[in-house]
Amino acid sequence: MVCPKCNGTNVNVTTETTGMSTRNRGRGCLWGIGRATLIFCTCGLWLLVGKSKGKSNTNVVNKTVCICQDCGYKWYI
């Protein structure tokens, strides 16, 4: 692993856990269309399934983060 900023090889690689909200973000309109289609095709049954699936609006995301020990530069891979 080489630092892209100072080309140093003294890089610490760790895993960072971040909670990301999945509530209507980053889905785009395509997701809305797909969801509406599913609800329509299943006569609303999918909506019930989706509701019962719960309230987990947060998704735990693990990111691999590299921190350069020489210059402090931090980046994700």
Q: Which residues bind Zn ion (CB under 5 A)?
A: 3, 5-6, 8, 68, 70-71, 73
10-33 residues labelled b (16+ CB within 10 A) or e (exposed): ebeeeeeeeeeeeeeeeeeeeeee
- Least distance (Å) between residue 75 CB and Zn ion: 10
- Least distance (Å) between residue 66 CB and Zn ion: 10
Nearer to Zn ion, 5 or 63 (CB): 5
Nearer to Zn ion, 16 or 70 (CB): 70
- Least distance (Å) between residue 17 CB and Zn ion: 24
Give the residue among 2, 5, 16 at the shortest CA–CA distance from 71: 5
What's the token pair of residue 39?
Answer: 């609800």
